[in-house]
Amino acid sequence: MHSWVPALLAVLAALMIAAGTVLRQRASRVNGAITVGWWVGAGIALCGFGLQASALGLGSILLVQPLVVLAVLFALPLEAWADHRHPARIEWAWGGVLVVCVATFLIVSRPEPSLRRPDALLLWGTVGAVIGMVVGLVILARRSSPHYKALFYGLVAGTMFGVSALLVKAVIYQMTHEFWRTFVQPEIYLFVLVVVCAVVAQQLGFGAGDLQTSFPSMTVAEPAVAMVLGVLLLGENLNVSVPTAMFLGIVLAIMIRAVCELAKLSAVRGWEQAVATETAMPPTVGRPAA
């Protein structure tokens, strides 16, 4: 399978995920309620996740996930169109940085999928670590102020979406090799459970009212967790020298900074518009006295 096929699917997935996220953010920006607009956005994002799943089934996590990160870049013109404005120069600047970093990472690293599977000790150790981290983040979120609640729920959502990337590879592999055994294996049911939990955590993060915190943390955590799990559990690697690996580490750090800045700018605009919308709403007229 040529690597451009999963790459193209990943880019299309990023575009649809961006559109769905913009719609859901705007539908939730006042009080976090789930409205018709939220469901429309969720449907579009679900189609994007389907394309992402197809890309993961055909290519490496280390190839697909950096491309899906471009969703925060595609959100720029979509948000500008929805807000009837032009993107600011700082947004285009960080968008350019993100594109350069993603392209550099993929050109230099040239990741390839791997068929290696981990031993049982590494597998269950990793699963236990992920479960422990998620439980800890949820406990911290429930005991925190709205700002940190948004941060922790964003990290939970990103972690769960990152885990789902690993599970979808297992499901796609099973479906393409032994389709009828897919529904008697646990991976597909774990995938559904993880995605549902991720969406719930995402909505809790949005509902905390601090999108400039929840959105960046979720956006960064997903590819980070997916790529780490791809290396640990699937044996994916970059086959590069130590100096090149250090260079790619710097590129990834800059890419994460660009993603954080773009997501923060997007979330701040959403918060400002939520305040403006709430301020512009007419006061509620009380019932006449009896």
pLDDT of the chain, 290 residues: tens digit per residue: 567 888 999 999 999 988 987 887 777 665 556 778 888 988 998 899 889 888 988 888 888 989 988 888 888 888 778 777 777 888 889 989 999 999 998 888 877 766 666 566 777 788 889 999 999 999 999 998 888 888 899 999 999 999 988 888 888 877 877 778 788 888 888 888 998 999 899 888 877 766 667 777 888 888 889 888 888 887 777 777 888 888 988 999 999 888 888 877 776 666 666 566 566 655 554 444 44
pLDDT (0 to 100) of residue 167: 86
User: Which tokens belong to 66?
Assistant: 């950096």
Per-residue pLDDT at 2: 60
| pLDDT at residue 247, rounded to an integer | 92
Alpha-carbon span 53 to 173, nearest angstrom: 11
